Structure 1
Amino acid sequence: MSDTVSSTAEAPAPAPSDVVVAVNSITAGYLPGVNILTHASLVAAKGELIGIIGPNGAGKSTMLKAIFGQVKIREGSVVLNGEDITGLKANKLVAKGVGFVPQTNNVFPSLTIAENLQMGSYQRPKGLAERIDFVTSIFPDLGKRLNQRAGSLSGGERQMVAMGRALMMDPHVLLLDEPSAGLSPSRQDEAFLRVSEINKAGVTTIMVEQNARRCLQICDRGYVLDQGRDAYTGSGRDLLNDPKVIGLYLGTLGA
């Protein structure tokens, strides 16, 4: 993909007063001199569900890790509620209201579900019972099995625990890296349903997904990353039906 790709199906930008997260033209990478993201940008407004799709190696997961301080940002900035949080460590980001659910190794397998959730609120232990009630209202199956060890759960159930733990700090924004990865089709549907419920509960959500079609079906706005750049942006529905996006990224999944 050339550097001259421009956005199609572009959705109106949120009003500045509504913006929760703004990723401003960041260049970032893991190794010195090797950039995975090049002048990539993203905006998420309060209450929005943002989807990030694109081919393998496009920099989707790197975008989330850059927001969460796990990848060095060489140029540009990340702003949360008007505050520059570029390069802050994970513990400080969690305290400021950024939740992150990685794709793998996202639970403590030797701990119970309840203990995993408690770990999510270690920086804010007050109100623990209230937050557990909130999490189990979204994931009722967890509420019935709080004493079960996380290591005995299925992949889909572990994903619920990981998302629940990230919600324990009542985050301003939740970052989800491939929440449907490795799940059966039925479990994938459940994962997308839970993501929608989290967002409807008022949590601004930014989700990276390989299942582009399902992602665009539920998100308010989408970003298509290609070779580390935001190639296209627009509403989820507009991108899902855009001929160029279908031809380049969705193929028959766009039908």
Structure 2
Amino acid sequence: MGRAQSETQEAAKTDRVVVEVTDLFAGYLPGINIINGANLVARKGELIGIIGPNGAGKSTLLKAIFGLVKVREGDITVNGESIVGLKADKLVRRGVAFVPQTNNVFPSLSIEENLQMGLFQNPKIYAERLDFVTGIFAELSKRLKQRAGSLSGGERQMVAMSRALMMDPSVLLLDEPSAGLSPVRQDDAFIRVSDINKAGVTTIMVEQNARRCLQICDRGYVLDQGRDAYHGSGRELLNDPKVVGLYLGTLGTEEH
């Protein structure tokens, strides 16, 4: 990264809090919490990584933010306003975008139609937003008529992220963008996530590939049994002996 680009990226980051999760308890079944008092803060322009062992509640935390899991206690705010209890369509209007790990494109539709689906609430800004996403994913501009079902896993992930960006979200939630991809495609996925963040999009990413995640994120949270056990800059967590011993030793760089 050049010095000017680095300075521009840093300038885009501010102290303004975009997402704040406070003492959150949430779960799928009555009386059983998966999230047990989790806390998280994402400031404007930051890339936040969430890592932890299998079953720690990482994906559940993202789904709770996006209203897919019932919140029992605590609060979630976006740009200072509580979003607890809002349905997905209202959350999209509030600037929250979510890319699930699987089933994240409409396979029978073209790439262009997938992108249009991302703007069903505001189709007038299609041309403007198409310019933005093809500025990040240049190859999409030449393949807009191709059916999404014919794409590889990595290419589908690219379309899914692009569709989520069409509504110009305040925050992009990514659930394991490298899952199921080959090592080469995994590297490409992390580069894409970094490019999205460099374009000014506040991003919260859940990842099983813990080391790679911490290498690119501004700050990371280690989730364990539904709580944020550790948090700090990506570099701090990578070099923290407790984090390395308890988590990074068991979280492989290519395993899921």
Distance in 2 separating the partners of 1:238 and 1:54 = 15
Is the 1:177–1:207 Cα contact (8 Å) retained in structure 2?
A: yes
Q: Give 1:254 shift.
A: 8.8
**TM-score, length of structure 2 as denominator length:** 0.92
Is the 1:37–1:228 Cα contact (8 Å) retained in structure 2?
A: yes
Distance in 1 separating the partners of 2:252 and 2:190 = 18
Matches within 5 A, 1:1-255: 18-251=16-249
Distance in 2 separating the partners of 1:171 and 1:145 = 24
Root-mean-square deviation (CA), in Å?
1.5
Amino acid in the other structure paired with 1:174:
L
Amino acid in the other structure paired with 2:98:
F
Amino acid in the other structure paired with 2:182:
S
Distance in 1 separating the partners of 2:30 and 2:250 = 38
Residue 11 (structure 1) aligns with: none
Is the 1:241–1:254 Cα contact (8 Å) retained in structure 2?
A: no
Is the 1:240–1:254 Cα contact (8 Å) retained in structure 2?
A: no
Structure 2 regions of 5+ residues with no counterpart? 1-12
Q: Give 1:252 shift.
A: 7.4
Distance in 1 separating the partners of 2:156 and 2:239 = 33
Indicate the percent of aligned positions where both proteins have the same amino acid: 79
Q: Give 1:226 shift.
A: 0.3
Distance in 2 separating the partners of 1:133 and 1:152 = 23
After TM superposition, the structure 1 stretch with the greater mean CA deviation from structure 2, 129-138 or 228-237, is 129-138
SS at match of 1:196: helix
Distance in 2 separating the partners of 1:74 and 1:224 = 22
Which stretches of structure 1, 4 residues or more, deviate above 2 A after TM superposition?
252-255
Q: Give 1:87 shift.
A: 1.8
Q: Deviations over 1:30-63 (max 9, x none)?
A: 0001000011010000000000000000000000
Distance in 2 separating the partners of 1:147 and 1:253 = 39
Distance in 2 separating the partners of 1:124 and 1:159 = 23
Count of aligned pairs between the two proteins? 241
Distance in 1 separating the partners of 2:28 and 2:146 = 37
Is the 2:18–2:44 Cα contact (8 Å) retained in structure 1?
A: yes
